[in-house]
Structure 1
Amino acid sequence: MSSATGKSAANAAQNSRILKSLARIGYVVLGIVHIVIGTIAISVAQGAGGEADQGGAMQQVASWPFGLVLLWLIALGLFALGLWQVAEAFLVRDPDSKKKWGYRVKYVGTAIAYVTIGVTALVYALGGRSDGDQSTQTLSAQLLATPGGVFLLVLVGLVVAGVGVAFVYRGATRKFEEHLELPGSGAARRGILVFGTVGYIAKGIAVGIVGVLFVVAAVTADAEAAGGLDAALKSLSDLPFGVVILWLVGAGLVVYGIFCFARARYAKM
């Protein structure tokens, strides 16, 4: 596909009202997923069971009335949101080529994350199951079994931890505001900014711990030390005041989910 053809396709995607509507729905369902994950994390902090990750969230949704319909809606919305991010990646307005590629990598990476969650929803909609921790441990074992696997696993861990740090940074500095068209002033604007700050920081902590677990698995040569979001959140309970920390992070993920609802309304598109 030529550059002109690719740009034309991206522009067509950007100008599609249907895709814009579906992408906004994608933010709504992304919010639902994070609220469910955060609620499960709070339940775990209080001594209950459950898997505080995408798979656990989808399993919870599947048990609701009309849960199957919602799972399909989650998959559709997140696939559309992923497509929107890809379109954004190839409509770079910055003339600096170095920034252009960094911009593209960021948006394509975000698209992959959205599509991955969408695939998990699709798996559950079709009656399947997904174990995030098991998948992560399998990947870690496969990497450790290859030449240079320890280095690769450390690299994966550092990249994931870097994503977590980026979330914390974007929350603390309110960089996320650049992607929103918020009301000029008032309580609504202040509330959305507070929810965004708290939510981004909480999500960054959770993602960062996943990266740390990858590094621990590499250093100890123990693939079982790695884990997904569920393992990362549950590992917080082993820290001093860990139950309180886990509760706060879970509450922060709920806040991030609520922020996603606002993002659906005010995202620049």
Structure 2
Amino acid sequence: MDTPNVKTAAHEAGNSAIVERGARLGYAVSGLLHLLIAYIALKVAWTSGGGSADQSGALATLASSSGGPFILWVTVVGFALLAVWQLTEAITGAHGAELGDRVKALGKLVAYAALTWTALKFATGSSTSSGDQTKDFTTSLMGHTGGRLLVGALGVGVAAVGGYHIYKGWKAKFLEDLTEHPGQWAVRAGRAGYVAKGVALIVVGGLFVVAAVRKAPSEATGLDGGLRTLREAPAGTILLTLVAVGLAAFGVYCGARARYARV
């Protein structure tokens, strides 16, 4: 199959109504998960419990709610079609022909594919822990030659993504992802949301670096571990509360993105 045919097929798939509506659905369910993660993070900040403040904790909350199984399957479909759309973007470069845009699309493809798999596990009654998956992945990576260096580099990369999120939120660069201005309420929510996600990702990346330096894969605990690390910092309750509010704001912004996203 030659490259022009592959690009043509990808372009047609990316422009199909099913993929477009599915991608918008994916942004909507992403917003719902961020709202649930924010809720759990607030419980972690102010009580001794709270559950897992990450995607698996949010999905577990959905699974135990009324109508949860149906919503979980909707989540699977939304994330799967978002992954498909990112694949078409990586192939065609429809909204950015530069290599960097395609690399970002590939990164998002991997992220949404992982979310699809996690949501599918919950939808089929086989729950999984994002934190355990992160630890297992780090342990496996460290078992290879140069594994510690790779884990450290991964941590730096995650922290760099977090820094970019802060920049994107502060400068409101996320508006470039939309077809039109979503309103000031969405801009404020997007700014707060991207900054909060950036802070959380920087902490998560830092934990990977610590795991590499200490030769301790258990230190790489994902988003839940990152948020709990914030809780243990000086004025941690306030810090985690601010991040939780920001994550909730990002969930609200995702609602606007579901409508105005450049798909």
Separation of aligned partners in 1, 2:81 and 2:94: 22
> Alpha carbons of 1:239 and 1:93: their partners in 2 closer, same or farther (altered >3 Å)?
same
Write out per-residue CA displacement over residues 34-93 of structure 1, whole angstroms, 9 at most, x where no aligned residue: 110111001110113210011101100001111000000001001101111121222326
> Which residue pairs with 1:42 in the alignment?
42
**Correspondence for 1:248 among 239, 242, 245:** 242
Write out per-residue CA displacement over residues 11-30 of structure 1, whole angstroms, 9 at most, x where no aligned residue: 11122112111111111111
1:151 paired with 2:152, answer no
Separation of aligned partners in 1, 2:212 and 2:42: 29
Write out per-residue CA displacement over residues 182-207 of structure 1, whole angstroms, 9 at most, x where no aligned residue: 34xxxx62111111111111111112
Write out per-residue CA displacement over residues 223-265 of structure 1, whole angstroms, 9 at most, x where no aligned residue: 1111111111011011110111111111111110110000011
State the TM-score, normalized to the length of structure 2: 0.95
Separation of aligned partners in 2, 1:71 and 1:50: 18
State the 1:211 CA deviation: 0.8
> Which residue pairs with 1:176 in the alignment?
174
CA contact (8 A) 1:182 1:189 kept: no
Q: Which amino acid aligns with 1:50?
A: G
Separation of aligned partners in 1, 2:147 and 2:16: 44
Which segments of 5 or more consecutive residues in structure 1 lack a partner in the other structure? none
Which segments of 5 or more consecutive residues in structure 2 lack a partner in the other structure? none
Separation of aligned partners in 2, 1:61 and 1:94: 33
Helix, strand or coil at the partner of 2:92: coil
Number of corresponding residues? 262
> Alpha carbons of 1:65 and 1:240: their partners in 2 closer, same or farther (altered >3 Å)?
same
> Which residue pairs with 1:4 in the alignment?
4
State the 1:174 CA deviation: 1.1
> Which residue pairs with 1:193 in the alignment?
187
Write out per-residue CA displacement over residues 152-196 of structure 1, whole angstroms, 9 at most, x where no aligned residue: 11111111111111111111111111111234xxxx621111111
**Correspondence for 1:129 among 104, 122, 127:** 127
Q: Which amino acid aligns with 2:71?
A: L
Percent identity over paired residues: 39
> Alpha carbons of 1:49 and 1:92: their partners in 2 closer, same or farther (altered >3 Å)?
closer
CA contact (8 A) 2:168 2:194 kept: yes
1:234 paired with 2:232, answer no
> Alpha carbons of 1:254 and 1:94: their partners in 2 closer, same or farther (altered >3 Å)?
closer
| Aligned pairs for 1:54-133 within 5 A | 54-92=55-93, 100-133=98-131
Separation of aligned partners in 2, 1:132 and 1:118: 13
- How big is the alpha-carbon RMSD for the aligned residues of Structure 1 and Structure 2? 1.5
Deviates more, 1:162-171 or 1:258-267: 162-171
State the TM-score, normalized to the length of structure 1: 0.93
